[in-house]
Amino acid sequence: MTPAAPAATSEMTISPFVVAGLIGLVVAYLVTPAVQWAATQFGVLARPGGRHIHRAPVPRLGGLAVYLAFVAAVLGGLPVERPIHVTPGPQQLVVTIPYTPAIDRPVIALLLGATAVTVLGVVDDARGISPLAKLVGQILSAAVLLPFGVGMDVLTNPLGGMFFVGPLGALVTVAWLVALCNVMNLIDGVDGLAAGIAAIAGGTLFVASYQRGDVGTAILAMALIGGTVGFLPYNFNPARIFLGDTGSMLLGYILGALSVLGTYKSYTALSLLVPLAVLGVPVADTAFAIARRWRGRRPIFQADTEHVHHRLLRRGLSQRETVVVLYLVTGILGAGALFLSGIHRFSLIAVLGLLLAALAIGARRTGLLAPPPVPAASGRSDAGR
CA-to-CA distance for 246 and 346, rounded, in angstroms? 40
- Going residue by residue through the chain (385 aa), what tens digit of pLDDT does each one get? 455 444 445 777 878 899 999 999 999 999 999 999 999 999 999 877 555 565 688 999 999 999 999 999 999 888 877 777 677 777 777 766 777 777 889 999 999 999 999 999 999 999 999 989 999 999 999 999 999 988 877 665 555 556 666 678 889 899 999 999 999 998 888 889 999 999 999 998 888 888 778 888 899 999 999 999 999 999 998 999 999 999 999 999 999 999 888 643 444 434 566 778 788 888 888 887 778 777 777 776 666 666 777 677 777 778 888 888 888 888 888 877 777 666 445 555 665 566 566 656 655 655 555 555 554 443 333 334 5
Contact 264, 209 (CB under 8 A): yes
**Does the pTM exceed 0.85?**
no
What's the pLDDT score for residue 245? Answer: 94
Q: What is the sign of the dihedral through the CA atoms of 187, 193, 196 and 200?
A: negative
What's the pLDDT score for residue 304? Answer: 63
CA-to-CA distance for 9 and 298, rounded, in angstroms? 70
Contact 121, 252 (CB under 8 A): no
Give residue 162's Cα distance to chain centre: 27
Contact 296, 314 (CB under 8 A): no
The Cα angle at residue 107 between residues 101 and 109, in degrees rounded to 5: 125
What's the pLDDT score for residue 90? Answer: 75
What's the pLDDT score for residue 65? Answer: 97
- Bridging pattern class, strands 58-59 and 84-88: unpaired
**Residue 223 burial class via C-beta count within 10 angstroms: exposed 0-12, middle 13-18, buried 19 and up:** buried
- Bridging pattern class, strands 154-156 and 93-96: unpaired
To the nearest 10 degrees (0 to 180), the angle between helices 168-187 and 280-295 is 90
CA-to-CA distance for 347 and 228, rounded, in angstroms? 34
* Residue 158: strand, helix, or coil: coil
